[in-house]
A and B are shown apart, each in its own frame.
Chain A
């Protein structure tokens, strides 16, 4: 199953056609009363990818995930999960999907093991005889084997989160959806979750992970989708997205003042940098910048694109959105509180 999956994926990539998708939404919209939670979300989750869904709190990440899993019915739009249109295909697709949504959900009066046994009893892909083994394996995998006999009531936040992860890993999955999986985890726990995600990726599973922590996404993901105000504002391969957004040129030169003067004369915005100038490529491009400098007799040692971190991209996207939609944002808040 895994082999054929990755074979198909590489075939698609090699052919240069659209990659096979593990999940896909089109025109997704959800309205609660008068509040628009999610609007026009077209999300593509390529098979075999680790897709990070990045967005500030309240940007619609969880609502999108809940619609993707058929927990919530979209007001408008379509969801396709592992090739099945929801909600009709839920029974076919969901057994192959493991999920941790909106925090771990378990019963406080049962032990960690008993909680997992109960969850396992409802897993379609687990044969009756395989349940015990699967539960112990999952506990082992998240490092909870030692505390499995203790009541869930007494678990720390991190242990609860691990148990939620264990439930998602009860069965080998084609797609794993993790909503804020590192919430409440200490640095060691965060590293373990990253390792679990890397292992899943290595085994050919597709992973969809949401976070409001940028470092988390940068560390674990191959793809990213940035959500803001209920809409996807950017998505694609992580590396590509970082490259595409480089709108600044770093020019190293010993004559900073001359360079700044020359550029300003050419109506190009620039400011001093560590060993030269940083030029914003707004209304201009790299060749024009260099020509301007060379024609003004400024020596150029090196010119390279500024590599912005995802953090900067994220901040810029959300800030731009805020500026654009300032008025509508006020409207939405008023509607929400009314």
Chain B
């Protein structure tokens, strides 16, 4: 017989989540990652602004489209970053969340505190999810401000040829932020699952980015069109629907549901692995 102890106790969830977020934000690479995300809309905006003044092929045409349409810039840069930059940033957070903690020997400490294994995964998933939302929102904010300063921010010219008023344009930007965030969550959830299998964050990042690139390649072949509805990357083009007027929602729902499936599958695999993992 060994002595009996008291009942199970847990540290408050709110305190654990705050600690996790503070830890991610304090990390130097988070700062540089967010900084690079802020630079994308600024560089893209300044590039357009310079091209607009010139006599090159983009000159007058681009000027006609973009003038007074600065609020297009955040949407444009989010789409520009979705294929590679945002999945990379999401993968970094997912990689550091579990593989990185294992590498530093801190995962043991958390499990010994103890934080339950599945609860720890939930905390990690929350951290990655929150940071992804912060990243896309920040990017959109910097894009909107840059666009408004350089091109004017009265409204938004849609792909359908209409111009949305300011309030609705802001609504479309917010919608884009949410849609893009959910897509990155899909990738990051799979990255989190990979993260539970290794002690090397670089392996997680390389595998995740390799997967995204592979999916992009698979999406090109027409012979594989039966596969395309299941590829998360193949649905990303349809997000441009957010720029149409009136807003067609079919494809947006479909791609969001698909990303949701990736989140479910990724987190389930990660939970299964966490529950039995040796540390």
Contacts and interface: CB of A to CB of B under 8 A. Distances in A.
Interface of A: 5, 8, 18, 20-24, 47, 66, 69-73, 80-84, 90-97, 99, 101-110, 114, 117-119, 121-126, 128, 167, 174
B16 interface: yes
A90 B279 CA distance: 15
Contacts of B9: 91-92, 95, 124-125
11 contacts: A21-B2, A73-B278, A83-B2, A91-B8, A93-B5, A95-B113, A105-B105, A106-B104, A122-B110, A124-B9, A124-B10
A174 B114 contact: no
Contacts of B28: 109
Contact of A107 (B4, B104, B112): B104
Contact of A128 (B15, B26, B27): B15
B23 interface: yes
Interface of B: 1-12, 15-16, 18-19, 22-23, 26-28, 104-116, 276, 278-279
Nearest to B19: A121
A108 B27 CA distance: 10
Given A71-B108, A124-B10, 5 more contacts: A96-B5, A99-B112, A106-B104, A124-B11, A128-B12
B114 A90 contact: yes
A66 B109 contact: no
Given A105-B108, A107-B106, A114-B26, A126 B11 contact: yes
Contacts, number: 123
Contacts of B114: 70, 90-91, 94-95, 124
Given A91-B10, A108-B104, A121-B19, A71 B112 contact: yes
B11 A174 contact: no
A105 B109 contact: yes
Contact of B3 (A8, A71, A102, A107): A8
A117 B16 CA distance: 11
B252 to A, nearest CB: 39
Chain A CB within 10 Å, residue with most, of B1, B6, B109: B109
Given A105-B108, A109-B28, A122 B115 contact: yes
A109 B109 contact: no
Nearest to B9: A124
A5 to B, nearest CB: 7
Nearest to A119: B109
A71 B27 CA distance: 26
Contacts of B15: 121, 128
A66 B112 CA distance: 10
Contacts of A107: 23, 27, 104, 106
Contacts of A84: 2, 4-5
A103 B2 contact: no
B17 to A, nearest CB: 10
A20 B5 CA distance: 13
A20 B3 CA distance: 6
Contact of A94 (B16, B22, B27, B113): B113
Contact of A167 (B6, B8, B11, B109): B109
Nearest to A97: B112
